[in-house]
Amino acid sequence: MDNFLEITRWVHAGFGVICIISGLLALTAKKTIGRHPVAGRVFAVSLILVYLTILANILFDLNVFMLGIGWLAVYAAAIGWRALLRFKGRLVEQATLTDYILGSTTALFSVSLFAFGILVFATSSNVMGLVCSGFGLLGVLLVHADWKRWRIPPKKEAWLALHIDMMTGAFSAALTAFLVIQFSEALGGLEWIVWVAPVIVMSRYAAHAKSKHL
């Protein structure tokens, strides 16, 4: 079992490198046919593989935090991808069974993540508990926004805006995971910075991209 978990960690790391590089290429490329869509597809697929290859380790360690955070990243990428398909008219605007499965799973993970964070903070006063609850609340808000779109599909441009928001959010999650692994121990009590900084930076990027392309 230990050998299997060790192998999956190495495979996970390999896909992680591909995920970060392809994400950066997609972000910096012109939003036209060519490098951007290709890099974007590689990023989305590699992100899913990053989560799947480390899932055994997460479950073995009973790491509720990483289970929920990782799923939120996958959910954001999936919704962003599907939003682009809806913008291009390749997918119906109304919710499909896939949307309901993604949304219900995310709602379950998000509520659990929020409750787990509150429990951690209440029992240990660890500020990471609040960070955990914050991501759980973010997941709940994302699902709520999706349910509103399922009831009343938005205008065409809104799908493109959603694509930008969700894909930058997914990259933010991937970047956060990389920074946490590389730098969190060195920061000691300030490790919360690497959990929050990418969200702030990528939120600004998303706002700039939407102002430019919408």
What's the total number of domains in the chain? 1
In a domain, 32, yes or no: no
- On whether residue 191 sits in a domain, the answer given is yes
pTM over 0.85: yes
- Identify whether 145 is part of a domain: yes
Q: Is residue 156 part of a domain?
A: yes
For 165-203, write each residue's pLDDT tens digit: 999 999 988 888 787 777 766 666 666 777 778 888 888
Q: In angstroms, rounded to a whole number, what is the distance separating the alpha carbons of residues 104 and 160?
A: 23
Range of the domain at 71: 63-213
Residue numbers in the chain where pLDDT is lower than 70 = 1, 184-191
Residue 103 lies in a domain: yes
In a domain, 16, yes or no: no
| Chain segment 148-167, per-residue pLDDT in tens | 998 888 888 999 999 999 99
In a domain, 118, yes or no: yes
| Structure tokens, 145 | 């926004």
Alpha-carbon distance values, 120 to 111, 133, 207 (Å): 14, 9, 33
Q: Is residue 67 part of a domain?
A: yes
